[in-house]
Amino acid sequence: MSRNEKHATMRHLFATRKMDARVRRTRDALGNALVELMLEKPFDDITIQEVLDRAGVGRSTFYSHYSDKDDLLMSDAEEFFESLAMALSVHGDKSDRVFPVKEFFSHVGEMRDFFAALVTSGKVHENLELARGHFARGIERRLSELPRAQSISVGDRAAIAFAHAGSLLSLLTWWINHGMKEPAEKMDELFHNMVWSGVSGSLS
């Protein structure tokens, strides 16, 4: 399976939005084409026409969905981050996990070349900021659902979730910078140990 196919599989695995099948195929084709091209050349050198040719999509169809390639990149990222953040809640996960860390880190490991291309493009900070917002909302929802988190007051959940989302992205950065040597399962365990070690705390 190619990297872009794995990326598409992850999107479908965590899909939460209902979307017309034809629209879904079009958006996936365009997103996959951009990912492929980013693995081949700098983002700034990629043209809309190259994306269209690779995806087999017409120009008018592209502009009915996106304003430019930056919009395509960020829309694809936003959809992925939102669906990932809400996946445990949507699928009724029975564990005490507040975020699918294992799955997320495994995906990043498989897409490491794309992540490197994202860094080179100068878009990584914008993507991570977008991710933090979605991850915080997903974690906040899980905290509201899990019996283990009921000691956290409703008023404190948003702040605590935002802090955990930041910790998750810091942990991801550490993992990447250290060569992704630790198994994704161990990083999941480490993150959730951090989450639950302070569960009895409250800001109020």
Helices (H) and strands (E) in the chain, counts: 10, 0
* Nearest-angstrom CA–CA distance, 30 and 23: 11
Angle between helices 112-121 and 21-38 (to 10 degrees): 70
The pTM of the whole model exceeds 0.75: yes
Domain region containing 55: 3-197
The pLDDT value recorded for residue 165 is 98
In a domain, 145, yes or no: yes
In a domain, 119, yes or no: yes
In a domain, 72, yes or no: yes
The backbone region for 103, taken as left when phi is positive above 0, alpha when psi lies in -120 to 50, beta otherwise, is alpha
If we measure between CA atoms, which residue out of 64, 105, 103, 71 comes closest to residue 87?
103
| CB count in 10 Å sphere of residue 71 | 12
Q: The domain that contains 160 carries what CATH number?
A: 1.10.357.10
Buried-state track 106-133, b at ≥16 Cβ within 10 A, e below 16: bbbebbeebbebbeebebeeebbebbbe
In a domain, 203, yes or no: no
Count the domains in the chain: 1
In a domain, 107, yes or no: yes
In a domain, 204, yes or no: no
Residues in CB range of 187: below 8 A, 6 or more apart: 101, 102, 105, 171, 175
In a domain, 149, yes or no: yes
* Nearest-angstrom CA–CA distance, 14 and 58: 27
The pLDDT value recorded for residue 202 is 47
**Mean pLDDT of residues grouped by 10 in the chain (204 residues)?**
52 55 89 93 96 97 96 93 95 96 95 88 92 98 95 94 97 95 97 86 44
In a domain, 71, yes or no: yes
